[in-house]
Amino acid sequence: MHPFTRHHADSVSALGEEKLIAAIRRWLGTASPRAPFGIGDDCAVLPVARGRQLITVDPVIYGRHFDDSVPPRAVGAKLLKRNLSDLAAMGGRPTAAVLALTLDARVSRKWLEQFYRGLAACARHYGVPIVGGDVAQADGIIAASLTLLGEARGRRIVTRTGARVGDAIYVTGQLGGSLRSGHHYRFTPRLAEGTWLARQAGVRAMMDVSDGLAKDLRALTPPGAAPALPPGSLSLRPGCTVAAALSDGEDYELVFAVAARTDLARFERAWKRAFPRTQLTCIGRFIAAKKLPPGVVDLDKFHGYEHLKQLPRS
Amino acid sequence: MHPFTRHHADSVSALGEEKLIAAIRRWLGTASPRAPFGIGDDCAVLPVARGRQLITVDPVIYGRHFDDSVPPRAVGAKLLKRNLSDLAAMGGRPTAAVLALTLDARVSRKWLEQFYRGLAACARHYGVPIVGGDVAQADGIIAASLTLLGEARGRRIVTRTGARVGDAIYVTGQLGGSLRSGHHYRFTPRLAEGTWLARQAGVRAMMDVSDGLAKDLRALTPPGAAPALPPGSLSLRPGCTVAAALSDGEDYELVFAVAARTDLARFERAWKRAFPRTQLTCIGRFIAAKKLPPGVVDLDKFHGYEHLKQLPRS
């Protein structure tokens, strides 16, 4: 669905701000509590947090994260799910979200209604109250930025730092071809998996795969080490090459390091009991960089998705 | 300073994402703690909150909230101060912030560095750690959206709801001419005043004046009531008309209702002791709408700033 309309009467600018905000509250429905715990005051009052609090922010932008082929309801859901995936990577559960919307005055009300209804349905599904927001105007753009709050109730928070030489590297699900297959908006964030993994003592470091494994894995790699991935170890989405699995991005899977001393067979059996439908693949190990054996995947050949890297424009 | 450059080498796209994020961390300096309490992981871990937690989100957008006449350092500071003003209106103190930046690849590095350095200086001044963020690309735009977290340590949180017929209406500072005078980026958010007011039992409702008093005051007005403002009661910025004071917007002052039974002379003396340099003006009272006397300011004649309300475009 194309988000812009040529007919002023169908556009958000025909509504004006006050009616638009009233409409947004209607579209969000029970996903947005009443003020002061939701939209309608200078700030929103947050629910009381029980564990350590986490925060993350990620946008969806027209032409970057979605186009006319993505249903607007799915765009709204994708916005929340992208952030939930970041929370999953720290073993957190969501508690609340706020949304900053920047949009052209010619955006169609129909498109925007579906966007908010999709966001609201997703927010209800994952139990995330949308407690606040802002709507601002800018020409030629639709950009929505969501700030997600969460909590980690376990004894520890798993970060990207902590992997060591010898640790096994695991990835959930399949990689590659996210745009082509529609996975980039149909994915399910690995929230339950993330909180389970954060409780396993052997899991030393974790992150989500969003810019392509080749790029993201660098952030998980301890100093002086390198990931040794045997060819054929990756779990590819049907029809995908290894290059696609390493570079495409928007996989929204979890990649994590498990301590060398862990009984991996036992760990994998426990995973299967907990998540019989989520694939788990050991893709290799971190080894000392100078000991990298021949024949492993050369990650330097793959760059993943680098934002803002463009050829000069005239 | 114009934020776009014609020379690719001077643009953010010449840096690419990874170097840009490294530069941003350098520009933010001590305003951004180390991961996991700052930038660098999937989420940031928030400082432990002591009171009830508040959240608000507000952007600055090129062409809307700033133009080439506003120094980029002041743009960065304005972004944080706008949000601090919302927090002040609920009697809160800031605890942390995250920033979502959407920008054209042709934005100049110099402009962006000054923007971040201005934000960082302001964040240090108000003790607000910038704990996370996101940078995304979109054509022809510079939009920065900041989500601010805060806490209200007092026994209660003052909201927009709670004023009653008979209550006196007060406004801090002066109104009008914010754009012309540069007040829209030079203002000081009324944080100390807001927390002080939240502790005064007589203060029933409060908000900040951002879209013009005529519009904002409606949100503070209890059902069935109307604000009766005698002509000449408003505190005008030098050179401003009453119409400008009611409609211009971006005043970032506090407007609040004080219970009728309060000893107002005593309240005003206490204010003067606490804030000898912040002007305080009683601009009128809420009275029953049907009893509105002749001669008071007719607020329906003034509309304030309505976002997204435009004439149809061809």
What pLDDT, on a 0 to 100 scale, did the predictor assign at position B1? 93
pLDDT at A185 over 80: yes
Cβ burial of B2 (10 Å; 0-12, 13-18, 19+) is: exposed
- Cβ density class A29-68: b for 16+ within 10 Å, e for less: eebbbebbbbbbbbbbbbbebebbbbbbbbbbbbeebbee
Q: Test B100 with A145 for CB contact under 8 angstroms.
A: yes
Query: Cα angle at A177 between A64 and A287, to 5 degrees?
Result: 105
Q: Supply A113's token pair.
A: 């209604």
Per-residue pLDDT, averaged over A147-175, amounts to: 95
**Residue A313 pLDDT greater than 50, yes or no:** no
Q: A12-28 and A109-126 helices cross at what angle (nearest 10)?
A: 20
Residues in chain B: 314
Interchain pair A313, B208: CB under 8 A: no
β-strands B168-172, B253-258 pairing? antiparallel
pLDDT digits (tens, 9 = 90+) for A8-50: 999 999 998 889 999 999 999 999 999 899 999 999 999 888 8
Cα(B114)–Cα(B125) distance, rounded to whole angstroms?
16
Question: Once rounded to an integer, what is the mean pLDDT over residues A151-164?
Answer: 92
Q: In chain A, what percentage of residues exceed pLDDT 70?
A: 96
First-to-final CA distance of chain B? 31
pLDDT of residue A304 exceeding 80: no
B225 contacts: CB under 8 Å, gap ≥ 6: B163, B164, B165, B286, B287, B288, B289
Nearest Cα neighbor of B207 from B220, B189, B225 is: B220
CA dist., res. B172 & res. B178, Å (int): 14
Average of per-residue pLDDT across A192-203: 97
The structure tokens 């989420």 sit at B43
Per-residue pLDDT tens over the stretch A222-262: 999 999 999 899 999 999 999 999 999 999 999 999 999 99
Residue A308 has pLDDT above 70, yes or no: no
Domain ranges of chain B: 8-152, 168-298
What ipTM was estimated for this complex? 0.93
pLDDT for position A153: 83
Find the CB nearest A56 among B42, B99, B160.
B42
- Tell me, what's the pLDDT at A307? 64
B264 Cα distance to chain centroid: 27
- Pairing outcome for strands B130-137 and B52-61: unpaired
* CATH architecture under which domain A168-296 falls: Alpha-Beta Complex (3.90)
- Neighbouring CB atoms inside 10 A of B179's CB total 15
C-alpha of B223 from chain center: 26
Give the A:B interface size as CB pairs under 8 Å: 246
Smallest CA-to-CA distance from B146 within B112, B111, B96 is with B96
- Which of A98, A140, A307 is opposite residue B135, by nearest beta carbon? A307
For residue B56, the chain A residues in CB contact (below 8 A) are: 42-44, 98, 132
Strand duo A130-137 + A93-103: pairing? parallel
Sheet containing B93-103, strands listed edge to edge, beginning at the edge strand earlier in sequence: A44-45, B52-61, B142-152, B93-103, B130-137
B48: which chain A residues are within 8 Å (Cβ-Cβ)? 52-53
Greatest Cα pair distance, chain A, in angstroms, is 67
Q: Which of A86-100, A294-308, B139-153 has the lowest mean pLDDT?
A: A294-308
Query: In 3-state terms, what secondary structure has residue B242?
Result: helix
Q: What is the pLDDT of residue A149?
A: 97
Provide the whole-model pTM: 0.95
Give the pLDDT of residue A309.
55
Measure CB to CB from residue B56 to each of A43, A57, A313 and give the nearest one: A43
- Please state whether A182 falls in left (phi above 0), alpha (psi between -120 and 50) or beta: left
Give the gap in angstroms from C-alpha A89 to the nearest C-alpha of chain B: 7
Contact B207 A92 (CB under 8 A): no
Per-residue tens of pLDDT for chain B, all 314 residues: 999 999 999 999 999 888 999 999 999 999 999 989 999 999 999 988 888 999 999 999 999 999 999 999 999 999 999 999 999 999 999 999 999 999 999 999 999 999 999 999 999 999 999 999 999 999 999 999 999 999 998 888 999 999 999 999 999 999 999 999 999 999 999 999 999 999 999 999 999 999 999 999 999 999 999 999 998 999 999 999 999 999 999 999 999 999 999 999 999 999 999 999 999 999 999 999 998 888 888 888 887 766 655 444 43
Domain at A8-152, CATH homologous superfamily: PurM-like, N-terminal domain (3.30.1330.10)
Residue with tokens 């109730």: A153
What's the CATH code, domain B168-298? 3.90.650.10
Which residues sit opposite B221 in a β-bridge? none
Give the model confidence (pLDDT) of A54-79 as tens digits: 999 999 999 999 999 999 999 999 99
Q: Note whether B16 contacts A308, CB cutoff 8 Å.
A: yes
Query: What is the structure's pLDDT at A293?
Result: 87
Chain A closest CA to B49's CA: distance in Å? 9
Strand B93-103 relative to strand B130-137: parallel, antiparallel, unpaired? parallel
Cβ–Cβ of A143/B147 closer than 8 Å? no
Q: What is the mean pLDDT of chain A?
A: 93
Tell which residue, A227, A91, A247, A229, has the closest CA to residue A158.
Answer: A91
Alpha carbons A168 and A25: distance in angstroms, whole number: 47
The predicted-structure confidence for A278-293, as pLDDT tens digits, reads as follows 999 999 999 999 988 8
Distance CA B255, CA B74 (A): 25
Mutual orientation of helices B109-126 and B72-88 as an angle, nearest 10°? 30
**What is the SS3 string spanning A34-96?**
CCCCCCCCCCEECCCCCCEEEEEEEEEEECCCECCCCCHHHHHHHHHHHHHHHHHCCCCEEEE
Residue A142 dihedral angles phi and psi, to the nearest 5°: -130, 115
Contact A55 B106 (CB under 8 A): no
